[in-house]
Amino acid sequence: GTLVHSLSLTEIEYLEDALLGVDERGTIAFLEKSVQQDQVDARLQAHGWAAGEVQVIEMQRGEFLMPGLIDTHTHAPQYLNLGYGQQYELLDWLSNLTFPAEAKFADAAHARRVYDSVVERVISAGTTTCCWYGTIHSTTKILAAICHRRGQRAFVGKCNMDRNSADYYQEESAQKSLADTEDYVKFVRARCADPEAPTPAAKQNGGTVGGKTPRRSTALVQPILTPRFAISCSDELMSGLGDMMDRDPDLPLQTHLAENPAEVDFALSLYPGIESYTAAYDRFRLLRRNTVLAHCVFLSASELDLIKARDSGISHCANSNFNLRSGTARVADMLDKGIKVSLGTDNSGGTAIGILSALRSASTASKTIIFHERDKKPETASSDDSVINTDGISRPAGFFAQSHLSVETLFYLATLGGAQVCNLEDRIGNFVVGKEFDALLVHTGQKTIASAAAANGGASIDDEIEKALASGESVLADGVDNPALMLEPDEGIERVFEKFLFTGDDRNLRAVFVRGRQIGGREIL
């Protein structure tokens, strides 16, 4: 059937009549274009696959496969607060709503109940890889175990917080926080080990320490260090986390950065004389290639340069930035500097589950910037300057700042961009042979036309399209119950795909796959 995936910040590839083979380890074994139905068995044989031993999933018109969506920033324990608290800005929102809700996760039964619901819900929305925050409690181990059991690819972090929080929700000391974190990391690595994990597809791109390439874990669920933000972590704690990353370069880290003006002022007040909020993390050696920085709304050009120099990644959480009145992150400037950027839902700062919503908010955010700054020229614009962007392609300086984010760029951020920020670009993000098969099987209303053709004694799809158009009847899908996708039967895949990104939802997800295994979706294949 049809495959849609991202090739770069500016290119989506649409492949019709594709034949994609996934082996028993969940790796993409081959991808062929323009294979007709009667050639399938022969093509399988050519790859040494016996037709009878392979499950063949044949997609109908209006269905397509796309890479799984990647959410690089969200908070599992805030699930029950979703859609509530929009009257606050960040710091009041944290103390009035968020810390009280998170404190309840001292209770393992509460944690089990909420974590199981939220992971299931997020998988249903098509999130195949998720960077999760837990709480300060050891019950975060339950969150990791649930992601593992449900088969989601995930980075799960126990929060570090030893200052400026609340007496009922704070760790007793930096040493205790560090010791609990060591214990947590060990637990997750043991509990969520995957004995059958494939070896990396492409060349390992782990950093090198002392001339050695560190082992890079292939586990689907991995621990991630999670200093909540500089405000809630003492110097001793942040320094201890920097030491842990020195000892263990495979360990990623996630935190919040420059989300809200009052937060930035508070953070700066804790480091007299420091040049910037970003520099505070750098002081403790926390900015690395496996660091995920959420929000990044209020960053100077030199802070963006520092993030680029450290090769850290950014999670753009536009829905949350609107909801908590934080501001609008300058994603185009980040891209124009060649920084890795991805999308985050940031529930419950953000009110919407899933990366399709995050993508729409990112689109809107980029359009508000264009609206307000229409007449401004990008600051870097000297026409002969060029920049190597994060997809490895050289473009003129200020290329992205000239307009709103395109469908191609938004889709990149939701898939390949997320893979880059998670340092999984060699494993996931698009359908390159050798990568793992993390994918969504999407169906839209056009399926009914093919079904009608089949029901009608094998009349051709084209005949059915002609009939549907001639009859003047509504072509609302009856095989799919998302009426938002109102597709004319003759619409091409590019329009169908754009409509899905901007109006589709869980109801259009027939199946959700991680590493070749179905973990969700509306139908068991």
Binding site for ligand GUN (CB under 6 A): 75, 90, 94, 98, 228-229, 256, 259, 320, 346, 349
Q: How many Å apart are CA 348 and CA 79, to the nearest integer?
A: 6
Instruction: State which amino acid sits at residue 438.
Output: D
| DSSP result, 274-331 | -S-HHHHHHHTT--STTEEEEE--S--HHHHHHHHHHT-EEEE-HHHHHHTT-----H
- Least separation, in Å, of the C-beta of 165 and ligand GUN? 9
Q: Shortest Cβ distance from residue 348 to ligand GUN (Å)?
A: 8
**Cβ at position 157, least distance to ligand GUN in Å:** 12
- Of 320, 274, 275, 270, give the one whose Cα is nearest residue 296: 320
Residue 216 or 228: which CB sits closer to ligand GUN? 228
Instruction: Quote the CA–CA distance of 446 and 440 in Å, as a whole number.
Output: 17
Closest separation between CB of residue 78 and ligand GUN, Å? 7
Buried b (16+ CB within 10 A) or exposed e, 149-184: ebbbbbbbbbbbbbbbbeeebbbeebeebbebbeeb
d(CA 515, CA 219): 11
CB of 257 to ligand GUN, least distance (A): 9
229 binds, among Fe ion, ligand GUN, none (CB under 5 to 8 A by kind): ligand GUN
State the nearest-atom distance from the C-beta of 349 to Fe ion, in Å. Answer: 5
Distance between CA atoms of residues 24 and 95, nearest Å = 48
By a kind-dependent CB cut-off of 5 to 8 A, residue 510 interacts, out of Fe ion, ligand GUN, none, with: none
Of the pair 229, 500, the CB lying nearest ligand GUN is at: 229
Instruction: CB nearer to ligand GUN: give 21 or 85.
Output: 85
Minimal distance in Å, beta carbon 160 to ligand GUN?
12
Of 263 and 426, CB closest to ligand GUN: 263
Contact flags string 25-54 toward Fe ion, x per CB under 5 A:
------------------------------
Alpha-carbon span 489 to 449, nearest angstrom = 7
Say if residue 471 is preceded by a cis peptide, omega within 30 of 0.
Answer: no
List the structure tokens of 172.
């007793």
* 333: helix, strand or coil: helix
* Alpha-carbon separation of residue 522 from 357, 480, 509 (angstroms): 19, 10, 6
Residue least distant from ligand GUN (Cβ): 349
Nearer to ligand GUN, 66 or 224 (CB): 224
User: Of 165 and 420, which has the nearer Cβ to ligand GUN?
Assistant: 165
Please say which residue, 321 or 446, places its beta carbon nearer to Fe ion.
Answer: 321
Contact 378, 402 (CB under 8 A): yes
Residue 94 interacting partner from Fe ion, ligand GUN, none (CB closer than 5 to 8 Å by kind)? ligand GUN
44 interacts with, out of ligand GUN, Fe ion, none, CB within 5 to 8 A per kind: none
* Window 330 to 369, contacts with Fe ion (CB under 5 A): 346
